[in-house]
A and B are shown apart, each in its own frame.
Chain A
Amino acid sequence: MAPKRRHLLALLMVLGLVTAAACGSDDGGGVSGGYSIGLVTDTGKVDDKSFNQSAWEGAQQGAADIPASATASYIETEESKDYANNIQLFLDDGAKVIVTVGFGLGEATIEAAKANPDVMFIGVDQWQDDALPNLAGLMFPEATAGFMAGALAGMLTETDIVGAVLGTDLVPPVVFFKEGWENGARYTNPDVQTISTYHPGGLDVAFGDPEWGATTARQALDQGADIIFGAGGATGNGALIEVAGEAGALCVGVDSDQWFTVPEAHPCLVTSAMKLIDVGVAELIGQAYAGTMQGGNFFGEVGLAPFHDFDGIVTDEMRATLDDVMAGLADGSINPMPE
């Protein structure tokens, strides 16, 4: 190979590496001036069409809502060992509020909150055993959301088999979704058979493996499931898209209204079991700014997404039952997750 071409090639390789390095810690914009809000994602991405994205939208909303000029920026965590470093980056930059997204960041967030009492922390999906004054854990009753979706599925299924393709049982909210979903389906349809699967991998891959999600959804469809709950980031999205290819089968999304985030699932997506993460994050940011944020756990809202194209198949009778279920869940007469 001629020396010139060799140089060109070497240059190309270096370029590739630089691009890769630049994305290693994807910084969504500098923190400078005004009231700054930093968001650290879990190993997912801010455009994961799921909970990281929801939280990021909430942070942007929160920044827009407060009266002072405020900026929101994010860092995407590539590997779980970087949690503490990424939080520290925002601390060094003088962030006033730091949002950490996901169960996995819980410990790192508590450490950082203890070391920096002047900075407000919001931990999404992080249960607080001991309340710290500057750390609010934004929690959601996932079992309740799962129960609502399951109750609908129990009424909609014709084969009396409902399936769930889930992230990992290492993350408690996923387990709550599953248990709620199964109990909800049994509540409206005592004959229902529930078949559910967790991803077999660890935290690093369980939410980013759409091929496994799709293959597993197909396996559930092949043995008679006609409505499938996909709960687990990109893994669940893979399941939704697989169900979309099966005529007559329905699917249920998770976390946000996935009608808008996974358009490929339109042929099957009847609803989504939503955690209103964006609303919760924005509200807590407002409280942090006003100085009214309480430490400990803050419970956000959950609900079912609109039925969109499937509005016609949900009968008035089903809607009435759903209303009863929601009322029962709200007043505590229905326990979505009895031991």
Chain B
Amino acid sequence: MTTRQKQMLYVGATLIVVIAWTFYTADGPQTTAVLAGTVRAATLLVLGAMCGMIGERSGVVNIGIEGQFLLSAFAAFTIASMTGSLFLGTVAGVGMGLIMGWMLAAMAVGLKVDQIIAGTVLNIAALGLTSFFYDRSRSLGMGKYTNIDLGPLADIPLVGTVFFSRPPLTYLTMVLLVVVHVALFRSVWGMRTRAIGEHPGAADTVGIDVLKLRYFNVTIAGGLAGLGGSYLALEAVGTFSRAMSGGRGFLALAVMIFGRRTPFGAYAAALFFGFTTALQNQFQLNSTFDIPPQFVGMLPFVVTIIVVALSGLIGSMRDPAALGQVYEKG
């Protein structure tokens, strides 16, 4: 990041804090409600974005995140309702995500199937399988994950409620942000991952097993989407319903691109998407403006198109060079 970009970041962050605080002093409960809704809507998106990011950094496009969410949510819900344990359900969701990740890797890396088609197969299969096997008599008798207050941190006005009085998987996601960031940019694994996404041929000549690492990365990334599925079924909603992922797996890809394939960038983008949802809800709750809800619902997508197009023009956003390409050992 250049010095200028850093300056802009600090200015932006300060502005957001000042604006949030101004609104908080004007109407505490409403501001808290909007920002809490923002963080909540961002969690699933950033998990999907991190899944996509690890794949793309290694050169594999994953458009099957939607399917990974859905089937993992199904697995998490089914196991949780059978065993009565949310924890076991979460583990099952992550496990299903890993399996889906492995399937994508097997198709895209092992069988060298077109990556877009491989991802589409996951999406279609997940919708079909979950619709077929969904048993509507199941329910989570014990309820979903509830908020945990992080001691004195939760008592801080505004920030405490928004960030430190959350359910467990949200905290886990915040920890994973740091973990993925450090792993991608400060570890040998991360360096190798980025190398096989940029120039697999060169990586191969220095002794990195490109196919093996891609296999591993896409599978592991599936675990993140699996956690997203668990979050969706066991923490955000508390049940399963058909096609409940509602396109968020695709939205996660937009979030990933918007966030320049970095965890914190993606989180900022996810928060922005979450914020527009929460804000348009608040407009309606207050009956502030008589504008159609669909209009405000559309805004994040319009902004994404503008940002992606602009940064494409300026050239500050660049895909990994080997993205989407099959690697044949030469």
Chain A contacts to B: CB under 8 angstroms: 1, 6, 9-10, 12-13, 16-17, 19-24, 26, 45, 47-49, 163, 168-169, 195-202, 205, 208-216, 218-220, 222-224, 234, 237-238, 241-242, 244-245, 262-264, 267
Contact = CB atoms under 8 A, between A and B. Distances in A.
A62 B302 CA distance: 48
Contact of A209 (B30, B131, B140, B244): B244
B277 A26 contact: no
A264 B131 contact: no
A179 B312 CA distance: 46
B285 A200 contact: no
A143 B51 CA distance: 45
| Residue of B34, B124, B134, B146 with highest tally of chain A CB at under 10 A | B124
Nearest to B147: A245
Nearest to B144: A245
A196 B284 contact: yes
Interface in B251-304: 277-278, 280-282, 284-286, 292-294, 296-298
B243 A19 contact: no
Given A26-B131, A200-B294, A245 B238 contact: yes
Contact of A241 (B36, B124, B239): B239
B277 A208 contact: no
A244 B143 contact: yes
B32 interface: yes
Contacts, number: 164
A196 B285 contact: yes
Given A9-B111, A13-B107, A219-B33, A208 B242 contact: yes
A200 B111 contact: no
B238 A264 contact: yes
A23 B134 CA distance: 12
Interface stretch (B13-21, B37-45, B176-184): B37-45
B143 A220 contact: no
A235 B238 CA distance: 12
A200 B300 CA distance: 12
Given A214-B237, A245-B144, A219 B285 contact: yes
Given A13-B125, A48-B241, A222-B29, 12 more contacts: A9-B107, A16-B129, A198-B284, A200-B297, A208-B246, A210-B239, A211-B232, A215-B281, A220-B33, A238-B237, A241-B238, A264-B140
Contacts of B247: 205
Nearest to B107: A13
11 contacts: A16-B128, A17-B128, A196-B285, A200-B297, A205-B247, A210-B241, A210-B244, A215-B41, A218-B40, A219-B37, A262-B239
A211 B29 contact: no
Nearest to B138: A263
A214 B36 contact: no
Nearest to A26: B131
A216 B281 contact: yes
Interface in B199-255: 232, 236-239, 241-244, 246-248
Contact of B285 (A21, A220, A262): A220
A214 B110 CA distance: 40
A47 B136 contact: yes
Contacts of A224: 29
B308 interface: no
B250 to A, nearest CB: 12
A150 to B, nearest CB: 16
Interface in B14-62: 29-30, 32-34, 36-37, 40-41, 44
A88 B173 CA distance: 48
Contact of B127 (A20, A205, A213, A244): A20
B291 to A, nearest CB: 11
Contacts of B236: 211, 214-215
B139 interface: yes
B244 A198 contact: no
Nearest to B130: A23
B281 A23 contact: no
